[in-house]
Structure 1
Amino acid sequence: MSDAGRQSLTDKATAALKPDSEKTTTEHLGDKISGKADNAAGTLQPQGEKSYTQKVGDTFSGGHDATTNNNSSIVDKAKSALGLGDKA
């Protein structure tokens, strides 16, 4: 179960594992908005108030570090390795 205002791990995984070439423009936009909202919520939520699953999810998705340090998340690295990452 996810914390209020956060994406569930299932939603994150589903969005991350579907190849970008198979996503519609609406899906791309939704992923981008959802990802930014989730990262913002994760940044604002104190670490001590996060559920265990959200701590794990933040670790694997790069959490707020992905937006502040411009690092790739583990999922992004895996997608790139498989040739499924953004081409833009």
Structure 2
Amino acid sequence: MADAGRQSLTDKAGAALKPDSQKTYLEQAGDAIKGAADSVASAVQPQQEKSTTQKIGDAVSGDNTNRNAA
């Protein structure tokens, strides 16, 4: 389950697996907005308050701007 304000790993993977060439402009815009919102949520949420799956997802996606001690 995703933390509040965060995209689940399943949603991130689904968006990444479908090529942009097969997405509508609305889907592409939605992915961009959701990705930006998730990055902001990742940055402001303290590391010790993140679930293990969110920590892993942030590390894989390079979205670990907030590197407070776990």
Instruction: Give the 3 Å change call, closer, same or farther, for CA 28–64 of structure 1 in structure 2.
Output: farther
- Deviating beyond 4 angstroms after TM superposition, the runs of 4 or more aligned structure 1 residues are none
Which residue number corresponds to residue 53 of structure 1?
53
Higher relative contact order (CA 8 A, sep 6+): 2
Which residue number corresponds to residue 20 of structure 1?
20
Structure 1 residue 64 displacement after superposition: 4.7
Question: What amino acid maps onto 1:60 in structure 2?
Answer: V
Which residue number corresponds to residue 40 of structure 1?
40
Question: What amino acid maps onto 2:6 in structure 1?
Answer: R
CA distance in 1: counterparts of 2:52 and 2:42, whole angstroms = 13
- Superposition TM-score, scaled by structure 1 size: 0.71
Question: What amino acid maps onto 2:31 in structure 1?
Answer: D
CA distance in 2: counterparts of 1:60 and 1:18, whole angstroms = 18
Instruction: Give the 3 Å change call, closer, same or farther, for CA 40–51 of structure 1 in structure 2.
Output: same
Aligned Cα root-mean-square deviation (Å): 0.9
- Superposition TM-score, scaled by structure 2 size: 0.89
> Identity rate of aligned residues, in percent?
65
Stretches of structure 1 that go unaligned for 5 or more consecutive residues are 66-88
CA distance in 2: counterparts of 1:39 and 1:62, whole angstroms = 10
